[in-house]
Amino acid sequence: MPNAPDMRFMAALKSRRQGNKAAALEQLEAILAAEPDHADALEVLGMMISEEGELDRAIELTERLVKLAPQSIMAHANLSRFHMLKGDKETAEEWQAKARVLGWKEEVGRKAANSPGGLHDGVDPDALEKQEQAVEKDPDSVIARLTLGRSYLKLGMPAKAIGHLRHAQKRDPDMSVLYLELGKALEAANMKSEALQTYDEGVSVADRKGDLMPRNQMASRRVALKKETSSS
């Protein structure tokens, strides 16, 4: 059974739905006066007073929420929006980046829960978070993008892998292993013609540089993929 603050919170939501904003604000303020750490009230009051232009207080309330619920994607996203409304783009982007990392970790967790053996091939969230941070720190790092792309591919998230690998490929079009990993990601995303083209280009690069291992792997995958596409 809901406790008294939760019942008052539901009443505040009802007032808000009915368009009685003044009553909703008064009810939310009363909840926080009695229970300063009521997370739902902090979130909703922060959003509501931001609509009234009280951005500094909205930020203060939502920062309190982040301390109570550090994994709240919504709280981080709201802080980003509030700072953007204040014109503080740099701080807004910092909070948005944190929200993206939390969203990504949540997605990784879902993938792990749906995988019989847990995370694929020993990829763990802490390592992935460090890889994300490395890319955030140096977006043009080929090695950081390659490492993160490989991890996303192992997790069965080829669309994310493709974006990072393509970025890395633009930065270093002579790294043959990028063509191999990108081709595998394209295959996983069922983009077979693009994968074949990538392998063709990658084999040429590997031949020119004498990179035998990635060259042989790409040649083998290319033959298998051609057989698959011709029989389908």
Domain limits, the chain: 1-114, 117-232
Q: How far apart are CA 82 and CA 56, in angstroms?
A: 8
pLDDT surpassing 80 at residue 178: yes
Q: Provide the pLDDT for residue 120.
A: 47
Superfamily of domain 117-232: Tetratricopeptide repeat domain (1.25.40.10)
Instruction: Determine contact, residues 190/175, Cβ cutoff 8 Å.
Output: no
> What is the mean pLDDT of the segment spanning 64-86?
93
Structural class in CATH, domain 1-114 = mainly alpha
> What is the mean pLDDT of the segment spanning 160-174?
94
Which range has the worst mean pLDDT, 132-146, 194-208, 217-231? 217-231
The pLDDT tens digits of the residues spanning 31-56 come to 999 999 999 999 999 999 999 999 99
Contacts of 145 (CB under 8 A, 6+ apart): 135, 164, 165, 167, 168, 171
Question: CA angle, 190 as apex, 185 and 193 as ends, to 5°?
Answer: 90
Q: Same CATH topology for 1-114 and 117-232?
A: yes
Between helix 55-68 and helix 39-51 the angle, nearest 10°, is: 160
pLDDT surpassing 70 at residue 18: yes
Q: How far apart are CA 204 and CA 185, in angstroms?
A: 19
